[in-house]
Amino acid sequence: MGRLVFSSVSRKFNNFQALLDVNFEVENGEFVCLLGPSGCGKTTILRLAAGLVAPDEGIISLDGKKIDGVNKECGFVFQEYALFPWRTVKENIEFGPQVKGMTKTECESISKHYIDLVGLNGFENHYPNELSGGMKQRVGIARAYANNPKLLLMDEPFGALDAQTRNLMQGELLRIWETEHISVLFVTHSVDEAVYLGDRVIVMSARPGKVKDIFDVKLTRPRIRTGPEANIIRDSVLKSLSTQIKLASHEYI
């Protein structure tokens, strides 16, 4: 459960070809990282998968079902958290269950479970503006999980965090993911992060956005960030990416 397939997906914005003939899949329970130069359409891919935008051409499907309209079986985690500022931690996590019409006790048991899981005990009644960035993103992850999704879509979720918190949160994410195993499509700008987290790393090229290379990261977890195998993979990903970045930046010069 949770198999996401993009086949020949293209999308234009006005006259700008953002994505052209994108093909890839996220296998059931797989953790896939998406890398690429800025503006190559990573966010657009996540929004397509969530059904927030529709493709011009091609088909996107989740577990064989074509995505048409908002995809309610996915959880979206945003870079800038996008928490409801007027809701407490607990209320943010309960949003999904609430709009699905669950009873108060059901909502509470769900939020309690995920507050435990992401380690926010004692902060249930805090408002987002009273939390640190790392804590906010824990809420973001818990809120997405609370909706019981088959697929987690994460758009540079740790991009705004400092390096230390970022490493810590990567470990936390893996811990959570290992407890409740679902497919993840994870957008990042960091090759280190991609190689540390992903089962596979997809590198995209820009203008128009296309899938360029796909790397398998067949390393057992917990991984050692500076292990020799990791270094080799990182090198090849970097190489693939840097040509892309050069190409992309060339157009601006």
Partner 1 sequence: MKFETGKRGLLINILSLIVFTLVWQILVILARNDIFNIPFIRLRDIPTPVETWYALAGSMFTRIYGPSFTYGIINHVYASLVRVIEGGIIAFIIGVPVGIGVGYSKFLGNLFNPIIEIVRNMPPMAWIPLSVFIFVSGGSIFIVFIGVVFPIILNTIQGVKSTDTRLIDAAKTLGASESMIVKKVVIPSALPSIMTGLRIGLGVGWMAIVAAEMVIKSPVGLGYFIWNMGDLGRYSEMVAGMIVIGVIGYIMNISILLLQRRYINWVD
Ligand X SMILES: Nc1ncnc2c1ncn2[C@@H]1O[C@H](COP(=O)(O)OP(=O)(O)OP(=O)(O)O)[C@@H](O)[C@H]1O
Q: Which of 39, 51, 58, 208: binder of ligand X (CB under 6 A)? A: 39
Residue 26 neighbours by CB distance under 10 Å: 26
**Is 71:153 a contact under the CB 8 Å cutoff?**
no
Interface stretch with Mg ion, choices 36-44, 69-77, 84-92, 244-252 (CB under 5 A): 36-44
Q: How far is CA 210 from CA 24, 44, 60, 196, in A?
A: 10, 12, 15, 23
Q: Which of 20, 43, 49, 153: binder of Mg ion (CB under 5 A)? A: 43
Interface stretch with ligand X, choices 33-41, 115-123, 126-134, 242-250 (CB under 6 A): 33-41
**Is 198:32 a contact under the CB 8 Å cutoff?**
yes
Q: Which of 2, 33, 35, 44: binder of ligand X (CB under 6 A)? A: 44
Identity of residue 88: T
Closest CA to 74 of 4, 11, 158: 4
Closer to ligand X by CB, 42 or 210: give it.
42
**Interaction between residue 96 and ligand X (CB under 6 A):** no
**Interaction between residue 125 and ligand X (CB under 6 A):** no
Could you tell me the two tokens for 19?
């994505």
**Maximum Cα–Cα distance for the chain, whole Å?**
58
Interface stretch with ligand X, choices 25-33, 38-46, 58-66, 163-171 (CB under 6 A): 38-46
SS3 18: strand
**Cβ 212 to partner 1 shortest distance, Å:** 27
**Interaction between residue 38 and ligand X (CB under 6 A):** yes
Closer to Mg ion by CB, 43 or 205: give it.
43
**Is 170:163 a contact under the CB 8 Å cutoff?**
no
Edge-first strand order for the sheet with 57-62 is: 16-26, 4-13, 57-62, 65-66
Residue 18 binds which entry of ligand X, Mg ion, partner 1, none, CB below 5-8 Å type-dependent: ligand X
Interface stretch with partner 1, choices 68-76, 167-175, 201-209, 214-222 (CB under 8 A): 68-76
**Is 51:187 a contact under the CB 8 Å cutoff?**
no
Closer to partner 1 by CB, 86 or 252: give it.
86
**Interaction between residue 50 and partner 1 (CB under 8 A):** yes
**Cβ 109 to ligand X shortest distance, Å:** 36
Q: Is 41 left (phi over 0), alpha (psi -120 to 50) or beta?
A: left
Measured distance CA(68)–CA(53) in Å, rounded:
9
**Interaction between residue 95 and partner 1 (CB under 8 A):** yes
Residues that bind ligand X (CB under 6 A): 13, 18, 36, 38-44
The site for partner 1 (CB under 8 A) is made up of 47, 50, 52, 70-72, 74-76, 78, 80, 82, 84-86, 95-96, 98-100, 127-129, 143-144, 147
